[in-house]
């Protein structure tokens, strides 16, 4: 005898088995951003308004460059996860799959460009 709810019998669907992983990914990235954003603001604020040579010298040091790169990478990952949740909630069918793919490409592409720019400054 199976203990199924009426809805589960009707839809033939069980647990999606991926919600917990997505939930923890969002929580971990939000806690990381909670730490990284103030660090980024303080390190970026110290360089704000400087000349090109001053910025180049400032980001040649490892600490500001690492903080900026981590903030970009974690921020765009968090952005991608949040957008994916919104798209899954409000877009359906083939458009949902296409939009998720486009948003993932856009967010990872922007993160790669940002990290490349920081690496170019740092090296």
Residue-wise pLDDT tens for the chain (123 aa)?
A: 566 666 665 555 555 556 788 889 999 999 999 999 999 999 999 899 999 999 999 999 999 999 999 999 999 999 999 999 999 999 999 999 999 999 999 999 999 999 999 999 999
Note the pLDDT of residue 37: 97
Q: Which long-range CB contacts under 8 A does 62-67 form with residues at least 24 apart?
A: 62/122, 65/118, 65/119, 65/121, 65/122, 67/36, 67/39, 67/40, 67/43
pLDDT of residue 5: 67
Q: Which of 63-92 are b and which e, b meaning 16 or more Cβ less than 10 Å from the residue's Cβ?
A: ebbebbbbbbbbbbbbbbbebbeebeeeee
In this prediction, residue 65 carries a pLDDT of: 96
Q: What is the pLDDT of residue 15?
A: 58
What is the pLDDT, as a whole number, of residue 67? 97
The yes or no reply on domain 23-122 and CATH 1.20.1300 is yes
pLDDT number for residue 26: 93
The per-residue pLDDT for 6 is 66
pTM (two decimals): 0.82
């Amino acid at each position: 005898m199976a203990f199924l709810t009426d809805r589960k019998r009707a839809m033939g669907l069980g647990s999606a088995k991926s919600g917990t992983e997505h939930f923890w990914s969002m929580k971990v990235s939000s806690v990381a951003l909670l730490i990284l954003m103030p660090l980024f603001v303080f390190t970026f604020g110290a360089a704000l308004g400087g000349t090109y040579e001053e910025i180049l010298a400032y980001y040649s040091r490892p600490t500001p460059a690492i903080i900026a790169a981590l903030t970009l990478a974690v921020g765009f990952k968090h952005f991608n996860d949040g957008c994916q949740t919104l798209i899954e909630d409000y877009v359906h069918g083939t458009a949902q799959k296409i939009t998720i793919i486009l948003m993932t490409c856009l967010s990872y592409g922007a993160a790669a460009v940002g990290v490349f720019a920081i690496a170019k400054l740092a090296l």
